[in-house]
Amino acid sequence: MIQNKFLLPVRVYYQDTDAGGVVYHSTHLNFMERARYEWLRELGFNVHVLSDVHKMLFMVRSLEIEYFKPAVLDDLLHITVDVANVGRSRITIAQEIWCKQTKLVSATIHVVCVGSETLKPVSIPTALREKIGKPK
């Protein structure tokens, strides 16, 4: 199940679901975005540090997602973040959404590091690259 990955617990609220109490497919992307944000914060690189100090930010370039089982109202989910690959300006992140011992969603997210003013690709800051470490 979940080992050696960043983990963010998220409760499913009414606003996350349709009339039947099932989480909207796009809401899973919001949960994963929140987990990546908190993962960066834990590494010491919140949005303000990235933008103000390093003059960069991350944008999603592409993603692949698979839905295995639905999440429903009041579920306690665990969203994982695991670095799969680091390039000069791109990070490939494997993310999963779990409920109890069941994997609900699996995704591969490719984010690109861009200059905060130009929105063009730039190198990932060395300090962040060192914090990320080598992917498994």
**Helix (H, G, I), strand (E, B), or coil: what is residue 3?**
coil
Distance CA 54, CA 31 (A): 25
Catalytic residues: 18
**Helix (H, G, I), strand (E, B), or coil: what is residue 93?**
strand
Question: 98 is written with which tokens?
Answer: 């779990």
